[in-house]
Amino acid sequence: MPYERLARSLRESGSPRVATMPDGSIDHFCSVVTGADEPLETRESFGQEILGDRSSFRFRVVTTEPGGQAVNAAKQLHAFGGSVTCYGYHDAPAFDDVPFETKSMGEPATVYVFNFGDRDVMFVNNSEVTEWTLADLRRFGELSEVFTVDVICCCNWTSITGLERAFHQLGELDVPRVPFVFDPGDIVGCGSGEIDSLLDALTNLQDTFDVVYNANRQEIRTSAAPLSGSVENDVDRLETIREETGITASVMHARSEAAVVTADRRHRVDTLQIEHPERHTGGGDRFTGGLGHALACGWDWDVALACGNACASYYVESARTGDVDDMVAFLQG
């Protein structure tokens, strides 16, 4: 079983060198309250209040944390003992105490996450994040140094403009071939032309790296929609994306399962189910971190999917990023 093998692998894993990029945010986790000072527990109750007579709401900031998809993935990679450098937008006091190395390119975005029992709702202000270029990375050293690592986790194409151009340029870079785990962020609602441009950039990126496209179920369906053929099954959609782009692997992380398609195999691993989630937002980022750690260590794909699943489930249940001891206890519990 992949989860049993995962527990053994985590105990024996080393300290891979990792680069994550290129976002960063200050995340305010909030609750919405009514006039009676009672929190609204679900999105449905919030929607009913909006559609009713109420025109204003109050919210409370419960906690504030340094965040961003690349930052959250870095938290997981560091928790597993990785030597992590996170490149992004970190010019804020909230980032002073993160336990890994950060290289900041500017001020972070501001995010308000409203916690509801069924699902979180997020509002993002990216006004401080300008177009990202490889020149931003060159401020910290030669690109050959930045990308000479065991794995790269890159996230948030939807919020960071300039990634496509950078991917085309990186396709010409001379560095060791390593896994490049890419989570595009919430692309649901993007047009077919935008998706085509993104996937074309991944094709070029594959010339330098082993690209792993990593997205949730709805994002995979959005990604596959403009491609040729009539596809009904999500794993077939992963196959279509991989074949059309020529990348190393397409991965889907979902509430019920994780799946991967490579050139010669398919794997599916059931997700560890959580009865009482503490957080809904951020689990996918921990999946990215867990998947990246596994690929950096050279683990088999089924164990890599199990690692991503376990990291996501542990975070959803506890609102904490689990280290090796946490994860082994979680798997054995």
Q: What is the pLDDT of residue 129?
A: 63
Q: What is the pLDDT of residue 51?
A: 78
Q: Name every residue whose Cβ is closer than 8 Å to that of residue 98 and which is 6 or more positions away in sequence.
A: 66, 71, 74, 75, 86, 90
Q: What are the structural domain ranges in the chain?
A: 2-25+66-108+127-332
What pTM was computed for the model?
Answer: 0.94
Q: What is the pLDDT of residue 127?
A: 59
Amino acid residing at 324: V
289 Rama class: left (phi>0) / alpha (psi -120 to 50) / beta: alpha
Q: Name every residue whose Cβ is closer than 8 Å to that of residue 67 and which is 6 or more positions away in sequence.
A: 24, 25, 26, 27, 111, 282
Mean pLDDT over residues 260-264, rounded? 97
- Residues 203-241 as b or e (16 or more Cβ within 10 Å = b): bbbbebbbbbbbbbbebbebbbeebeeebeebbebbbbb
Rounded CA-CA distance 50/22 in Å is 35
- At the fourth CATH level, which superfamily is domain 2-25+66-108+127-332? Ribokinase (3.40.1190.20)
Confidence of residue 306 (pLDDT cuts 50, 70, 90): very high
Residue pLDDT, tens place only, 209-261: 999 999 999 999 999 998 866 677 999 999 999 999 999 999 999 999 999 99
Mean pLDDT over residues 111-119, rounded? 82
As a 3-state breakdown, the chain gives helix, strand, coil percent values, each rounded to 5, of: 40, 25, 40
Q: Name every residue whose Cβ is closer than 8 Å to that of residue 236 and which is 6 or more positions away in sequence.
A: none
Confidence of residue 19 (pLDDT cuts 50, 70, 90): very high
Confidence of residue 37 (pLDDT cuts 50, 70, 90): low
Q: Which two tokens stand for residue 297?
A: 């260590």
Mean pLDDT over residues 264-293, rounded? 94
Could you tell me which of 74, 89, 109, 73 has the C-alpha nearest to residue 283?
73
Least confident of 31-35, 138-142, 146-150, 160-164: 31-35
